[in-house]
Structure 1
Amino acid sequence: MKLAVAIIHGIGTQPAQLDAEGHHLFAQPLIAALRLRLGAEADQVAFQSLYWANVLDDREFAYLEKLKEEPVTWRWLRRAVTLFLGDASGYRKVSEAYDTTYQEVHQTVRQGLQALRAKVGAQTPLVVLAHSLGGHIFSNYAWDQQQLNSTPSCALDPFLGLETLAGLVTFGCNIPLFTFAYNPVLPIRFPGHCLSATVREQARWLNLYAPADALGYPLRPLPNYAAVVSEDRAMAVGPWYKRHTPLSHMEYWNDGGFHTYVADYLHQLLPVCSD
């Protein structure tokens, strides 16, 4: 395999259902569309979904079940708020030793990357496609990993050390909302240290957001992010009745324009990747 592609989901409940290849339901339409657009080159790409929803879903559903006994109204809205904001508030790094949610989420990311590593070599370039809160989660995971990779050298396993990270596509990304507590605001180091010169030249962090997506934001206006984010691209996604509304936040997965945008970048990167 010449290239590895990991796909991480964002906020909201996600079923744990897998297909025959072990890909989670949320990633299946995107993987199928990318393979179609890549054609014969798809055989040179290993895909893997990164699934973390199970860490928080059970807790959120348990609370919603108990809420049925309470005299509250607007239940559909409360459900949406609980499942969406519950993810964002539940995933945070706190000082209490007994609160391990942050590490539990990162452990699921690590397990997904290990499954992907089993399909590729230690030097294989990695592209991560991250939706919504998944962009923030992967950014935190990468930041923590980079603190371990304290010197500009290759880790024992460069792939698992994220030192072969060659591409990052964030979509519907809300990283800016989590930066306001920090001064200075610093992004992750990008790209990885252990890339060939030709791959490094094609390395890109691409950020795409739908203009009506109230949970998707440009990244380059953040302090220091313009140095690592190559592009903020505004693109309406979804069917006509959703693409100009906040409901577009969940429509990237099935949007042909977004599929083409990602496939075009993979087409650009693949020729400089070696087997």
Structure 2
Amino acid sequence: MTKKLVFITIHGMGVIEREYYKNLQQSLLKQLGEKIWSQVHFEPIYYQAAFQRYQYSVWEKMRQSTTLAWQDLRKFMLFGFSDVSTLEHRATSDGSVYKKIEKLIIYYLKLARKELLSNDIPIVIVAHSLGCQVISNYLWDAQKDKGIWQLGNLDYPEFPPEQEDFIKLKSLKYLFTTGCNIPLFVAGFADIKAIPKPNPDFKWLNYYDKDDVLGWPLKPLSPSYDLVVEQDIEINSGNIWQSWNPQTHDGYWTDEEFIKPLSQVVH
């Protein structure tokens, strides 16, 4: 069946399973039904492979060297915050983690493009936590010819020239961000700039929970964020055990306050 929409997910930080997207995918299928969902090409991006092998090595060394209390919390802190610190370390260097992640995004976009009839099919992206910064970086670099897109660098991507608009996400219609921690990356800058809109129809909807210490509103960051972000939408994310504490950070993608408006866009 001809696909009418591309739906892309990008995970957050920490220990991430390859099938991190399953609950979201099943929730959308339930909301939309097989007929509508079959017209959507679903492409989950998994970039954690760029970090995880090294993180597990450090974790095992630490765990085996001594008895550590609060192991689950320690593991979350180690994996999550090393993701953050590693992401943009020496970003412009050839072969950096930053560029490896951008190459992974391109890899998944090329997979998606094989299933489509044209380059201008609408795209919806749902990004969580650190994934919001990851996709923001990618969009910025694609529009400004920075990062992996800088001519002459060893990591410049290979793709058929006619696919460039798709791979640069020029037909991105909606960006949904949940538990977004972009403010953690830009708070130290005097001049905070958001990505330019990739096209006039682009809408950025940012979901946050007041109890989520890793999730923030974005419009107050700067005039450019206020202009580009359509809405900051506060919800009470997660189940009864999550919604009143910082664990709410992991509850967005199963919460009806998020799933229902997302499914309306896909519809």
Coarse TM-score class (shorter-chain normalised):
0.7 to 0.9
C-alpha separation in 2, matches of 1:146 and 1:96: 16
Which of 48, 59, 73 is residue 53 of structure 1 equivalent to? 48
- Among 121, 125, 128, the alignment partner of 1:128 is 125
Root-mean-square deviation (Å): 2.0
* Aligned pairs for 1:12-161 within 5 A: 12-16=14-18, 25-39=19-33, 40-71=35-66, 73-76=68-71, 77-94=73-90, 97=93, 100-120=96-116, 121-148=118-145, 156-157=162-163, 158-161=165-168
Identity %: 30
The alignment's TM-score, normalised by the length of structure 1, stands at: 0.84
Question: 2:114, 2:89 → 1: CA distance?
Answer: 29
Instruction: State the AA in 1 paired with 2:28.
Output: L
**1:72 to partner: Cα distance:** 5.8
SS in 2 for 1:166: strand
- For residue 68 of structure 1, report the CA deviation from its aligned partner: 2.2
- Aligned residue pairs total 247
Distance apart, 1:190 and its partner CA: 1.4
TM-score w.r.t. length of structure 2: 0.86
- Identify unmatched segments of 5+ residues in structure 2: 150-160
- Shift of the alpha carbon at 1:242? 1.0
Q: Is the 8 A contact 1:126 1:159 kept in 2?
A: no
Q: Which moved more, 1:49-58 or 1:36-45?
A: 36-45
* 2:158 corresponding residue in structure 1: none
What residue is the counterpart of 1:256 in the other structure? 256
Deviation at 1:107, TM superposition (A): 1.2
Partner of residue 197, structure 1: none
DSSP 3-state at the match of 2:238: coil
Which one-letter code corresponds to 1:31 in the other structure? Q
Instruction: Provide Cα deviations, 1:4-52, integer angstroms capped at 9, x if missing partner.
Output: 1110000011123xxxxxxxx1111111211221233222211100000
- Cα separation, 2, equivalents of 1:118 and 1:111: 11
Gaps of 5+ in 1: 17-24, 194-199, 268-275
1:217 corresponds to = 216
